[in-house]
């Protein structure tokens, strides 16, 4: 299979800390000589996609999530919906994206956010970068919605957790990295309202995106990620390693190293 001769697109799902597996997938792609021409991401996938599109190293990508307070809960919101004030992350993001522009990226990037006022998904691929990234990653009720183009926006995964649409039109070969998994559960794990709500939400996201995931030319879904909490920053390195190992196995099966 001559993947290296094709134009490649990369789709990165949302999934909180589990999204560190996306960085492992990118590391494996680099080792196998694969480079994406177009990237699309939702929520944490938008953040990883932006770092990749900016040509940041894998080390820098991991440092971004360890150093910025995304999973540290430092910025409590006052008079805003949400526990954390998303606006206060802008300065931390400027360190990694000093030009704050889609046009300054080295690869074409699409991120998806949810316009809460209009009730629709919005694909963004031009203009100011940081506010678009924060909008895509503003997971309710943890992060407050962010104003973008005059309207309140929140997490892209609310309406589109696997934004393959802009990628499939532009490339010959689509690689998908999905970290929003649905594993079998025992009855004992559904014994309160929070567990039930989480399970139902996960099933809805899974069902909505399943067809797009199956239509990828290569899909990487590390099942071991189910043991990592989506907001547990202690899982950053583990999720990265799981993503890398899974991607290496997948790529080894179809490509010589």
Cα 131 from Cα 44, distance rounded (Å): 14
Of 43, 136, 144, 177, the catalytic one is 43
Decide: helix, strand or coil at residue 146.
strand
5 labelled catalytic: no
| Nearest-5° Cα angle at 58, 53 to 61 | 70
43 labelled catalytic: yes
Q: How far is CA 19 from the centre of its chain?
A: 6
Of 13, 42, 144, 155, the catalytic one is 155
Decide: helix, strand or coil at residue 148.
strand
Q: Which residues are marked as active site?
A: 43, 155
């Amino acid at each position: 299979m001559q993947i290296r001769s094709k134009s490649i697109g990369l789709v990165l799902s949302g999934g909180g800390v589990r999204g560190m597996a996306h960085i492992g997938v990118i590391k494996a792609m680099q080792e196998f000589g694969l480079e994406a021409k177009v990237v699309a991401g939702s929520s944490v996938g938008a953040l990883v996609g932006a770092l990749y599109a900016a040509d940041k190293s894998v080390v820098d990508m991991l440092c971004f999530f360890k150093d910025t307070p995304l999973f540290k809960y430092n910025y409590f919101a006052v008079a805003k919906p949400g526990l954390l004030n998303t606006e206060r992350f802008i300065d931390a993001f400027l360190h990694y994206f000093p030009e704050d522009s889609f046009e300054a990226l080295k690869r074409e990037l699409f991120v998806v956010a949810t316009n809460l006022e209009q009730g629709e998904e919005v694909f963004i691929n031009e203009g100011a970068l940081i506010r678009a990234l924060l909008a895509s990653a503003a997971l309710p009720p943890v992060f407050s919605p962010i104003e973008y183009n005059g309207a309140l926006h929140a997490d892209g995964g609310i309406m589109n957790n696997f934004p393959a649409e802009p990628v499939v039109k532009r490339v010959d070969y689509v690689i998908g990295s999905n970290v929003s998994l649905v594993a079998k559960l025992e009855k004992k794990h559904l014994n309160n309202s929070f567990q039930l709500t989480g399970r139902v939400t996960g099933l809805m996201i899974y069902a909505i995106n399943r067809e797009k995931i199956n239509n990828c030319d290569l899909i990487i879904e590390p099942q071991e990620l189910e043991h990592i909490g989506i907001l547990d920053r202690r899982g950053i390195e583990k999720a990265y390693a799981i993503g890398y190992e899974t991607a290496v196995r997948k790529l080894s099966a179809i490509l010589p190293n």
